[in-house]
């Protein structure tokens, strides 16, 4: 039986905003000051073009606390698919939502956590419980298909982006047919799917699902020096890497926590996807992925590596890449097409060149026969 686990993340200092007056303000300001990723991702410049307006990001996680000061007005509550019969939110889901669409609070919203796409909305879909929740073991049979159901629910309810900061565990690392089918269903509906690559890079470095499913943008973690974190999985399905150490997030109540994990990195990339979708509403999942991969820094010398994927994400560069490749709807990649694992855009260059040459030959009225087999991978 397959069991979902969340990567170890929220281990660190917790501070509360419950204190009155100046103390609460100080805590909010401290949380904002600790958000080193805002500058690293080029967000102040990127926000001049897009803040995620009009985009719905589904957070498939432990549920989101819509009452946290930094998430007020940002959350749409979806279903609890775990069958646990308890509250609708957990600390981990709330943390991930804050990194995607946190809006801060206080005067001019100068305090608290700002997400990558602060104008986006979050659709909370509960598909798993917190790591330490004793109900996890008791409820496994009731929610073993929760992730697949959650993906389909999000796609059917208009999610532009689906963020999954979770992965396979308890010895089940092979994935599941129902989940893979749900992934392709969501891509066919136009959703961009993002998942954490996994946190056992220093141990088993096992293939992690849903990150390893074709079409999902798998995200690893880097530290403040832009070096891949020791815990970040190194696999040929890794698409990009993003900040994932000493990350300040909203906690389950009205507090904050500092922690490490590819969970945070994936949430940030989901936020970048939301920025792109807001600026280019008609852009296909494939082109959004290409823009994110092409708009990276610290790119490996040969264009791709299992450690860095295509490089360290940068919101501003990704938006610029999306601007360059924005095409009419008739020119978008066919939704539902498998996009595969490993190296991406570079591997498609020969195909693109061949298509251009073919068009030129056809325009010269030279008749040729052309047959193509196989699936389209990036």
Residues annotated catalytic, as ranges: 61, 92, 263
Counted residue by residue, the chain has a size of 378
Distance separating alpha carbons of residues 159 and 23, to the nearest angstrom: 38
Q: Which residue has the tokens 């260059």?
A: 349
Q: Give 309's DSSP letter.
A: B
Counting DSSP H helices and E strands in the chain, the numbers are: 11, 16
Angle at 115 between CA 196 and CA 272, to 5 degrees: 55
- One DSSP character per residue, 156-202 reads HTT-SEEEE--EEETT--S--HHHHHHHHHHHHTT-EEEEE--S-TT
Where do we find the tokens 């992730």?
Answer: 147
List, as own/partner pairs, every contact residues 330-337 make where C-beta atoms lie below 8 angstroms and the sequence separation is at least 24, other chains included. 332/282, 332/283, 332/284, 332/286, 332/287, 333/284, 333/285, 333/286, 333/287, 333/376, 335/187, 335/188, 335/189, 335/190, 335/284, 335/285, 336/184, 336/185, 336/187, 336/188, 337/187, 337/286, 337/375, 337/376
Question: By C-alpha distance, which of 63, 208, 212, 64 is closest to 143?
Answer: 63
């Amino acid at each position: 039986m397959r069991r979902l686990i969340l990567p170890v993340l929220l281990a660190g200092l917790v501070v509360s905003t419950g204190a009155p007056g100046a103390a609460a303000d100080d805590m909010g300001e401290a949380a904002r000051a600790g958000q080193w990723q805002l500058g690293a991702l080029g967000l102040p410049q990127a926000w001049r073009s897009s803040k995620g307006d009009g985009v719905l990001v589904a957070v498939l996680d432990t549920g989101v606390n819509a009452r946290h000061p930094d998430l007020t007005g940002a959350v749409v509550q979806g279903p609890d698919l775990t069958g646990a019969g308890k509250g609708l939110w957990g600390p981990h889901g709330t943390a991930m939502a804050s990194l995607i669409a946190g809006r801060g609070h206080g005067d001019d919203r100068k305090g608290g956590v700002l997400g990558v796409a602060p104008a986006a909305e979050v659709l909370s879909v509960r598909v798993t419980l917190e790591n330490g929740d004793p109900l996890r073991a008791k409820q496994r049979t009731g929610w073993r298909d929760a992730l697949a159901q959650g993906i389909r629910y999000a796609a059917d309810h208009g999610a532009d982006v689906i963020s999954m900061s979770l992965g396979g565990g308890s010895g089940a690392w092979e994935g599941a047919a129902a989940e893979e089918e749900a992934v392709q269903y969501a891509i066919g509906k136009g959703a961009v799917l993002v998942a954490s690559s996994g946190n056992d890079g220093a141990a088993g470095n096992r293939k992690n699902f849903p990150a390893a499913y074709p079409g999902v943008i798998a995200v690893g973690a880097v530290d403040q020096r832009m070096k891949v974190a020791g815990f970040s999985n190194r696999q040929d399905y890794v698409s990009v890497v993003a900040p994932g150490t000493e990350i300040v997030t909203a906690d389950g109540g009205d507090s904050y926590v500092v922690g490490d994990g590819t969970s945070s990195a994936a949430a940030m990339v989901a936020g970048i996807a939301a920025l792109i979708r807001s600026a280019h509403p008609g852009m296909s999942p494939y082109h959004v992925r290409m823009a994110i991969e092409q708009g990276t820094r610290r790119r490996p010398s040969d264009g791709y590596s299992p450690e860095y994927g295509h490089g360290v994400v940068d919101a501003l560069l990704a938006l610029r890449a999306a601007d360059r490749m924005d095409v009419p709807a008739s020119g978008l990649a066919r939704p539902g097409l498998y996009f595969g694992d490993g190296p991406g855009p570079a591997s498609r260059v020969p195909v693109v060149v061949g298509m251009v040459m073919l068009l030129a030959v056809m325009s010269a009225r030279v008749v040729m026969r052309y047959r193509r087999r196989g699936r389209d991978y990036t």
